[in-house]
Structure 1
Amino acid sequence: MWFRAALYGALGILTALLGAAARSLIPPGLAGSIGAGSVGNILGILATSMLAVTTFSLATMVSAYGTASTTATPRAAQLLIEDTTAQSALATFIGAFLYSIVGLIALSAGAYGDSGRVLLLVVTIAVIVLITVTLLRWIEQLSRFGRVAETINLVESATRKAMQHRAREPWLGGAPFRSPPATAMPVAADAVGYVEYIDVEHLGRLSIEHDFDLHLNVLPGTFAAPGRPLAHVAGEGLDASALEGIREAFVIGDARTYEHDPRYGLVVLTEVAVRALSPGINDPGTAIDVIGTVVRLFTGWARGRESKQDEVAIAHPRIFVPALREADMFDDVFPSIARDGAALREVGIRLQKAFAALDDLDCVNFEDPLRRHAREALSRAMDALPFEPDRAAVAGAARPKLVDTGPDEA
């Protein structure tokens, strides 16, 4: 956030100084005819108002971050901090404040002259128009900034982008995973944290340069530790520099990120639903909203994988990368919601309808996890609901194909 604000501030200072540098381009008699002498009063009003608006906006943003952390989940606050509309609004206000302050100082020092005042007035009018447009957008943003529904939408958008990227490159540009040979050498992490990014392109260049095959054991979002191999390398004559180059391709940080880790977005959405189902909040409507959001994401994932299946390019055939497993993605979401919402009739019904909607996609990779989670959710509801009509309603919402137990599974 500081970079955008600093950039706008620098532009404001340069713009204010532009009038002094370009005053020779303005005809001398034009200043009096258009009332350029009033620009000092305008800049004074602008400086005072922008300082107040900046302080108010910053306080509002900090309050929104705290609200999102307490009502949704702390893991979603980062998306609010990275929101470009909020950053642009705050940066615009800071830039306008610095512009007006520098303009007043230069005006008091006599740096402009009559001709420079004309250019300063024109630029000030343009700055006022920019501030007005920004304020209108900011007012619209404040009406929903930090609210639970808006936070869910932000997490959904970030998760969808990560899913779409992974659908285009299910193996991150490498080849489908295969087990390493017994002679392969493990490459352990040299730090403790979460894998945030894997530079497969860098690994591909190394594999050609040093003549080896690399079998990845981790994906972005995996917890790494020195005793856990990041990958196994199969090759001869690998020196320490090659192994260090392999480690450098794995970016390890303190926390998971949304960009390359679709499962993290699903985990954050689940946290929002679980918090809403807690006795202290008791908001099943938010949990139902999250269930619908997850169905949209999985629907997009299934369609994206199907449409991109024939377009997947293997840019680095010697780097073998595991794909995301749909069973793991389902495990990130449904067990926790089914557990905490088991005693709520409406949540149980919505879960079964969600399973039925995903079953309608006819995605082969969804079949087994759908059956397992539909049965588990129904079993939890039957145990937790004391009222027989409630149990009947949840059971009636379940699709028999998903929850019926066959003779070999009884």
Structure 2
Amino acid sequence: MRWPAGGVRNLLQGLWFVPASIVVVYAVAAVVLVEVDSRSRLAGGPLFAGDPAAARTVLSVIAGSLITVAGLTFSITIVVLQLTSSQFSPRILRSFFGDRITQITVGSYVGIFVYAILVLRSARADFVPRLSVSVASALAIAAVVLLIVFIHHVSQLIQVSYVTGDIARKTLARLEVLYPAAYGVESVEPDDVSELLDRWLTAEAFLVMPRTPGYVQRIDVDVLTRALGDGVDRAAVLVRPGDFVSIEQPLIAIWPASQPEECASAVRRACRVDGERDLDQDIGFGLRQLVDTAVRALSAGINDPTTATTCVGYLRSILVTLAGREFPPVVHRFPDRSLTVIARRREFDEYLDSLAEVGYHAARDLRVVQVLSDGLRSVASTAAMAENGARSQAAAEVAISIASRAKLQTSDPHDHQVIERLVETVRAEIDAVAHRLTVRSEGPIG
């Protein structure tokens, strides 16, 4: 049986599966090493040389110490989660649950405790598991080193520069996977998908509903095409990764409408719905976390424009990269099966709204407005170099809108002059881009 990719990812992102697996490994190691001790009766060298009472004392101290440190680790983790949720964004918690160092630390402390308890059971008056006790002592020393690493790591986890940088790096990594081609290299833009989908929806369709409400985490077109029967000639995925769906909202429409009910169960596996968003196919989730952090930093209760400008810098980096990328196809045709599938996607304007949202809340802070304006001009410039006039125009319009709102919010004459210069600069760049694109489209004269 093939495990769904989204299900495996959710397991690895939780705070129970990886630690539980580590505990099982330690338990198995204890059983195996005790068996080796009982058969070989190893002694001498660097192995434990004490009597059964000493062995039980060592194992008891290790077990008691490790379970205490495990409790401390849980406490520190909960405090970090509370700070992160209140200072940055509750949506960042998913990345902390999936933090490998935290998972390994929690799993190792509980696992070493379990190891010591299992070995302790085997220590008798006539038998000392010397190899097992020696390994327990080595694990206890390793646990001390791991505690130092964990405390250092936690001190980084609560720094805004680390948190925002980590979000941006993960988002850019997924962007490279989801949007690998430069704009214009592989022209896959559909002619008029909206009209095509509207025509399809005028006919009766077999609608596949979600079993539970939640966020769409993953859509797998390959799984969908394999699940569709030979009699299907059209299918449309009506949702996108990151969308919230309720139980009465269709996920997928299939034509013709006369499909067996078993088809719904097979097709539903192509669209994973869960309780929270995931970055795997949804880079908008990374943008959302950065926007939430920036907006919270601009709130009256926190008033930290430096954090907001840091978030805007990372948003700029993501959007500049995205501005020069080709978006994946919406229409998928399979001539060998006479099948056409429409899988909706997010457009560039929707990603651009992330900076617009920050601009709405930053209208009274000239410094943040300037950083936003610089970022949007970079996005517009990158789109223009890729010869995508629509994206360049959209970025410039957002910059002008943010500057205009800021001008209305301030009464300082100096701020007015700065904002007017920003607007003039953006408009001049729009005219220059439009002229350059016109010249390129007309080609050389003569």
Q: Normalising TM by the smaller chain, what interval?
A: 0.7 to 0.9
> CA, structure 1 residues 290+8, in 2 after alignment: closer, same or farther (shift >3 Å)?
same
Q: Contact 2:319–2:352 (CA<8 Å) still a contact in 1?
A: no
Alpha-carbon offset, residue 134 of structure 1: 2.0
Q: Do the aligned residues in 2 keep the contact of 1:353 with 1:398 (CA within 8 Å)? A: no
Corresponding residue to 1:59 among 61, 71, 75? 75
Residue 97 of structure 2 corresponds to residue 97 of structure 1: no
Cα distance in 2 between the residues matched to 1:11 and 1:240: 43
Q: Which structure would you say has the larger RCO, counting Cα contacts within 8 Å and 6 or more residues apart? A: 1
Answer whether contact 2:381 2:392 (CA < 8 A) is retained: no
The match for 1:144 is 156
- Note the alpha carbon deviations across 1:345-382, whole angstroms, 9 max, x for none: 11111111111222232342531320221111110111
Q: Does 1:344 align with 2:365?
A: yes
Matched, 1:318 2:356: no
Pick aligned residue for 2:351 from 329, 340, 362: 329
Q: Which of these residues, 28, 33, 39, is aligned with residue 14 of structure 1?
A: 28
The 2-side partners of 1:335 and 1:148 are apart by 22
Report if the CA contact (8 A) 2:363-2:402 is conserved: yes
CA change 1:48–1:203 in 2 (3 A) is: same
Q: Secondary structure at the match of 2:303?
A: coil
Q: Quick one: which amino acid aligns to residue 291 of structure 2?
A: T
Q: CA deviation at 1:43?
A: 2.6
* 2:203 corresponds to: 183
In the superposition, relative to structure 1, how do residues 246 and 399 fare at CA in structure 2: closer, same or farther (>3 Å)? farther
Structure 2 Cα separation of the partners of residues 377 and 343 of structure 1: 11
* Aligned match for 1:76, one of 92, 101, 109: 92
**Residue 256 of structure 1: aligned partner:** 277
Q: Give the superposition deviation at 1:226.
A: 5.1
For 1:67 and 1:32, how far apart are their aligned partners in 2? 45
- 1:164 corresponds to which residue? 176
* TM norm structure 1: 0.84
**Partner amino acid, structure 2, of 1:383:** L
Match of 2:397 in 1: 372
Report sequence identity in percent. 20
Q: 1:198 to 1:397 in 2, by over 3 A?
A: same
Counterpart of 1:255 in 2: which secondary structure? coil
**CA distance 1:175–1:209, shift in 2 (3 Å):** farther
Residue 392 of structure 2 is aligned to residue 392 of structure 1: no
Q: 5+ unaligned residues in a row in structure 2: which ranges?
A: 1-14, 183-187, 432-446
Question: Following TM superposition, by how much is the alpha carbon of 1:28 offset from its aligned partner in structure 2, in angstroms?
Answer: 6.0
Q: Is the 8 A contact 2:168 2:286 kept in 1?
A: yes
> How many residues are aligned here?
395
Deviations 1:10-39, CA, capped at 9 Å, x for gaps:
333333333431125546662798634454
Pair 61,324 (structure 1): closer, same or farther in 2 beyond 3 Å: same
Q: Give me the TM-score of the superposition, normalised by structure 2.
A: 0.78
Give, in whole Å, the separation in 1 of the partners of 2:97 and 2:46.
Answer: 46
Q: 1:89: Cα distance to partner?
A: 0.7
Counterpart of 1:50, as a letter, is L
Is this contact kept in 1: 2:331–2:343, CA < 8 A? no
